């Protein structure tokens, strides 16, 4: 690859990142600001899609697929169904009387988090910290993520894996029991 095309690729990645970031943040704000709940749910889908795009930029392609299937495919459909089932009394999504202090707290939290993030000396994954061989290993793991992920999930984290499957079973049974007519 010639240097100019590498620079072009970096520029394209940069532009794609900013497009995704902007649409994610704007639609997240729309989720909490729009009064019509159905439209808010549609904007939530845009936000979830944006996060899936960021997962791809972070080379977590499996997670992007999981995000698309579970969040965009299943959870948002559930939310829209619930909105439609409870809609006849719905007059938008009103706020509490204390929304101003809550907004203040959120902005303070955000400012604090951004300050901390930009002032921390991160132990970055760069060629200074690792030797040539270790860098090669890391790149191999990142580009071959799914098999490594699978072996970790079923070896190192197998106990949590089983616990989560039990939790899912319990949640499904509980949801069925709750919505069953009597």
Partner 1 sequence: MTLERFLIIGAILFAIGLYGALSKRHAIAVLMSLELMFNGVNLTAVALSRYTIPAALSQSQYAIDNAARFILTGQIFTIFIITVAAAEIALGLAIIIAIYRSRQTVLVTEASDLRK
Residues 67-96 binding partner 1 (CB under 8 A) are 67, 70-71, 74-75, 78-79, 81-83, 85-86, 89-90, 92-96
Residue 6 or 92 having the CB closest to partner 1: 92
Residue with tokens 């929304």: 99
Q: Contact between 21 and partner 1 (CB under 8 A)? A: yes
17 contributes a contact to partner 1 by CB under 8 A: yes
Residue 12 beta carbon to partner 1: minimum distance, rounded to whole angstroms: 15
Instruction: Identify which of 105, 49, 45, 107 has the alpha carbon closest to the alpha carbon of residue 80.
Output: 45
Position 178 contacts partner 1 (CB under 8 A): yes
Asked if 24 and 50 count as a contact pair (C-beta separation under 8 A), the reply is yes
Which residue among 51, 65, 68, 72 contacts partner 1 (CB under 8 A)? Answer: 51
User: Residue 15 or residue 70: which is nearer to partner 1 going by CB?
Assistant: 70
Number of residues that bind partner 1 (CB under 8 A): 86
Q: How many angstroms separate the CA atoms of 146 and 162, rounded?
A: 19
Who contacts 27 (Cβ-Cβ below 8 Å, separation ≥6)?
A: 43, 44, 46, 47, 50
Q: Does 141 bind partner 1 (CB under 8 A)?
A: yes
CB of 177 vs partner 1, minimal distance in Å? 8
Q: Which of 7, 12, 16, 107 binds partner 1 (CB under 8 A)?
A: 107
CA-to-CA separations, 145 to 52, 63, 164, in angstroms, rounded: 16, 10, 22
> How many other CB atoms are found less than 10 A from the CB of residue 117?
9
Asked if 73 and 52 touch (Cβ cutoff 8 Å), the reply is no
């Amino acid at each position: 690859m010639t240097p100019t095309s590498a620079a072009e690729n970096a520029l394209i990645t940069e532009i794609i990142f900013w497009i995704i970031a902007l649409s994610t943040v704007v639609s997240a704000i729309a989720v909490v600001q729009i009064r019509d709940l159905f439209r808010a749910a549609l904007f939530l889908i845009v936000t979830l899609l944006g996060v899936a795009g960021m997962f791809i930029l972070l080379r977590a392609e499996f997670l992007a697929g999981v995000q698309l299937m579970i969040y965009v495919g299943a959870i948002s459909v559930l939310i829209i169904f619930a909105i439609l089932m409870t809609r006849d009394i719905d007059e938008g999504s009103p706020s509490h009387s204390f929304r101003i202090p809550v907004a203040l707290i959120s902005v303070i939290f955000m400012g604090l988090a951004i300050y901390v993030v930009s002032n921390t000396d991160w132990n970055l994954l760069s060629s200074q910290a690792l030797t040539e061989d270790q860098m090669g290993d890391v790149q191999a793991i990142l580009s071959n993520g799914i098999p490594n992920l699978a072996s970790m999930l079923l070896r190192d984290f197998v106990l949590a894996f089983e616990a989560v499957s039990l939790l899912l079973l319990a949640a499904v049974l509980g949801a069925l029991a709750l919505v069953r007519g009597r």
